[in-house]
Structure 1
């Protein structure tokens, strides 16, 4: 008995695959039936005829969509609210043309998120719905504004065509509207407003609200664009296009063009008459000067940061020219020859200079009989300071690097090490490199390049005590680098 008096039945989110009267023929008083999110693929003729009082039917978002809807599937003259959204329906020809003939009193129809490829077929399909008040075609793939709808339905009050591919709103001339539509939503399309008319005057007269945000609003000095913006008037927190309330204002209404205005709120921007005047003819000259200044600044900055490398390659160029000319021997620098004067060139931070000219020099030169180039002692060779460094490195068979926490902060030492690495590659490894590690290093402050250098380059840790095994190991490693033979 309770089932016979049931007026609302919600069967959403089940797995119903077919509509029959087997279990619902007793629901003679049922007014609202919700069947969304099921697996119904076919609606056969007279699928709901056993529900004589049915007014609301929501059968949207079927798992695999609706594949077949027979002409008399909605054979129920009392149906008023029908929701068919997101069912993958293809409205392109005469296939679904007659499905609304048996239910002419539908006032609320939702066909959103289906696929309309033929607007004429769509209009013919819904033409029997003489009482239609609300029509939703959101995300239906429309490529133009369906103006035919506004000329066929006298009771139409609301139409939603958001999220389609409409680029412009064009009405034929002459156009006669029979509807008294009060609300139109055309948001999230691709509409360019290029004429001094949004809708024909009869439609504008009946409208009380409109949503047209997220479209292509032009904020340039174009005459039509300025006209459109001037039609928008603010009243407290609301905005009106002429006398029609704008829904979604202000955050849905943003400039699309020009590029420098893209994303700016339409309500925050208004170009004045002065701003729309022809630009100053000297502006290109100013721009050229600014660009030239920018380029010069960039080049100067690069030259400053890479000045040592520029000096190095300039040095190599001069050496190459000197070798080719070879006219006056007096023009050839002291170290500009193929022979090598030193056994090793020492790279070190100024803070480690005392160690290099002291204990380290005594070990290598006085005890091991190798000749070092130490800048604090031998740096007077050559004319230009940079050329002297490069000459000394070229005149040395190998390179020794004194590694301590001090050298990590010394950009000049880092540059010399990079040149030494280049020379190592150019000589195919003949100019060897050896790292003399003075103490425990602060690994956390070390660059990745230093970690890589320590891992891939021969090294030895300095030991103060002469007779310790560590000192002997260090000496042997150093000798194996500096000597061409095994000692």
Structure 2
């Protein structure tokens, strides 16, 4: 424990500083070589090489050493006495002062010692104390040396309370320029406000012995801290809020220094999730379990190291699904025995993967498939005994594999063909089929992927070569660096339809035409550095087909960034992952990345035309809306009368089970009007079924019951309102029943026709009087009477459609 505490308490405050080359002594700039000439007896001075040593042999109290290499001052002070005897040197412009005070008097403060020596203008101070009861630094030193940018405090003690007497908040609250801080203590509880004044801190190293860190411990440095290191001997507990506030944190290290392989310690499941600026994470002997949501939404991570965790035997699927920017993943020195196929899903930009020193016994043939950019793979010192031939086949970018310390056994080399000629480490000449290769090309079969490779690069070809006829379904055709001007017809070039990868970079192609000129199972097309100015609509339409997943590289072409480029821009915005060099695609004239262009940049006239059309449409819609709102009723009547847009003015067949379209309620004294209405209604262009009490009622039946039954069985009730109607008891009853039915159905079913002028308004029932005030009515003799009446009648959509061709306007 003592050795650990000694190491831990050596941790300190530190900073990088600029080193001056001279020192100021007694107001004069003195080169180090002339320093000894300024020493006053009885003290002495020795100078050798770049080191000047000052000592007072009579006192045996101080050793002062100045070095030229870093312009630093070293003071070793042994006396348990006051400071009155210390000579005054007026030393300034030092990069660093280092005090090794083995036995300071308890009441002696560092600032007093510096004042006695005349030390001013110091960039950094290192201080070591070996007595637990000593207050090593005080706030006044930082008040006096406001330009101090770095401080190192190292305390070595056997006493567990050595740091307890130091109020760090009080000590360091007056260091406004401090950017880097390293704090060491073996105390078991850390004050939450200890860093409350460190608003400029960018680097923090905590060497602690605490088990729990307060949630608000780092809130004061949340806007400045970029690098955080937490070193702890054994267990460590803290919640995600401790880190969530660190909006600028880029580098994070958690290390349990004395915890052997992370025994018993588990980090919170969401500990590093949603840390948007985090770029590097180091976890050393820190956990025995990793949750699948550990790094969720931390999309800027570029490096992750999870090492030295003996109890960590697996990683969950989807752990790195949001880390598309990760380039280095080190999960070595754990106990991983099984890796699922989906564990590396999302790491398409990973360059280095270290799986060494684990317990892996097998690797799936699909395990590395998502790692399309992997260059370096370390799987040395595992328990692998065999590998599938296709384990690395999907990683075409892989350059180096370290498998040292792997004990393969029982593997046999199968050589099936006598005339086997090796071209390189993974490709062999295929002799099993009789096919010929164009003399301008080199052909071979890649055994692991079962692909026919045809390499015709730099062969001065003006047209596509004839391709070998083979049973292999995938062909990689490399015809870059030639003089090809157009794509062939797949039916004219033998074997062209089997091409799955077509590499056409550095040719003279001017167009790609329609998709019919491309092989049907093409998965990748490379047309970089050709003369293509327009990717026409037919080609873009081919790309947008549902079953088309072909990827492309298009950069280096003189693309015209005009109206013709709008389809390409639309496609790239919708499916950017399919254009692999999207960031390198440039516009010819604008000299601007194509993906940064907007439609208005490509085609200002097109945008202007669309804007004008949209503007006109908006104006027309507004005018139509105003006209409709002002003349809605008249418009519908006119349309209905002229058999136009009947789908709009016809009502739904809500009353399709009713027998009559209308029941006419009238006084028998107004039968002359009925004689005029009835023929028009029953025999007009839109014939209606009309009920009259004098014609359609059953003789001898109860009149009130017939009124109720007829109103209920009619879609409309036409009231012939006259003085005779008001004077008729039965007529008024018919209105009341119709009015109650209207209220119950919540539909306008009553049509009132005012016939002649009313002589006595006092005789009108209250319901009828209220209805007349709240609703419109027809007036006999109105020029539009018949049009309004027919519009107010039920609209049968099916009947209207059948009569539309034959019916004329109602007159």
TM over 0.5: no
TM-score range, shorter chain: 0.3 to 0.5
Larger radius of gyration: 2
Tell me: higher relative CO, structure 1 or 2? Use CA pairs within 8 A at least 6 residues apart. 1
Q: Which of the two has greater helix per residue?
A: 1
With normalisation by structure 1, the TM-score equals 0.43
With normalisation by structure 2, the TM-score equals 0.27
